[in-house]
């Protein structure tokens, strides 16, 4: 299982982002971050293209995004950047949080066939027949509690490349909690996706 992306959403009353506040955040993040056109309307984006890290700000949200070929579940770098951002914006240390991890799992080019055969009690040819041979895969979604977070795990063939399964894990907490707690749990969730979700998928494929 290869971790490909982590996104951490922190919701809080940040307020208007004037030039002075934008500059304070840029100084706090330091090199190699720079202000870039935001990929999401309504956000200000600070990007580090070398390490594929982005911090985005809006009036109600901070978003941290890190992408890579096989990134680490260790979020100490995210903690450093988000702490600097919080302090530069003079925010209280309480956020409503959302965490997302994305991973890929090698399927030897047959993710569509495996999902159709193992996720349903039908042969792949029978499932394809229901969709006039246009089927791209079968997906599963598991919802569960990891107090104080509510989580869901999604497993499906990777639409862009059926050589892989696409794994998406989401966790949300509706009440404000500290940044330290958020990042501690986010790291645990990354380790879960890397290790436990891998075993979940292996068990499904052994049916």
The pLDDT tens digits of the residues spanning 77-123 come to 999 999 999 999 999 999 999 999 999 999 888 888 888 888 877 67
Q: Tell me the backbone φ, ψ of residue 205, rounded to 5 degrees.
A: -80, -15
pLDDT at site 64: 98
Residue 113: per-residue pLDDT: 83
- Under the banding of pLDDT at 50, 70 and 90, the label for residue 132 is low
From residue 102, give the alpha-carbon distance in Å to each of 6, 16, 27, 66, 74. Answer: 6, 31, 30, 11, 15
Question: Which domain covers residue 54, as residue numbers?
Answer: 2-205
- Mean pLDDT over residues 65-77, rounded? 96
Count of domains observed in the chain: 1
- The mean pLDDT value for 46-52 works out to 96
39 vs 194: which has the higher pLDDT: 194
Kindly state the tokens that stand for 29: 């993040």
**Average pLDDT of every residue of the chain:** 92
CA distance 199 to 1: 10
How large is the average pLDDT for residues 66-70?
A: 95
What gap in Å lies between CA 2 and CA 193, rounded to an integer?
9
Tell me the two tokens of residue 47: 């990007």
Q: How many residues does the chain have?
A: 207
Distance between CA 79 and CA 84 in Å, rounded?
8
Higher pLDDT, 68 or 138: 68
- pTM as predicted: 0.91
């Amino acid at each position: 299982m290869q971790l490909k992306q982590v996104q951490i959403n922190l919701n809080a009353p940040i307020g208007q982002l004037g030039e002075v506040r934008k500059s304070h955040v840029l100084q706090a993040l330091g090199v190699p971050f720079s202000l870039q056109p935001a990929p999401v309307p309504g956000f200000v984006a600070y990007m580090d293209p070398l390490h594929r890290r982005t911090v985005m700000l809006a009036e109600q949200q901070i978003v941290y995004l890190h992408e890579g070929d096989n990134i680490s579940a260790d979020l100490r770098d995210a903690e450093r950047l988000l702490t600097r951002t919080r302090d530069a914006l003079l925010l209280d240390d309480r956020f409503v949080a959302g965490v997302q991890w994305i991973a890929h799992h090698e399927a030897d080019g047959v993710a569509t066939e495996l999902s159709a055969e193992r996720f349903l009690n039908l042969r792949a040819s029978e499932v394809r027949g229901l969709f006039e041979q246009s089927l791209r895969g079968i997906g599963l979604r598991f919802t569960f509690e990891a107090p104080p977070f509510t989580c869901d795990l999604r497993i499906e063939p990777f639409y862009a490349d059926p050589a892989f399964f696409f794994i998406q894990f989401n966790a949300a907490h509706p009440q404000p909690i500290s940044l330290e707690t958020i990042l501690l749990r986010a790291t645990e969730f990354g380790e879960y996706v890397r290790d436990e979700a891998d075993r979940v998928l292996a068990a499904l494929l052994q049916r």
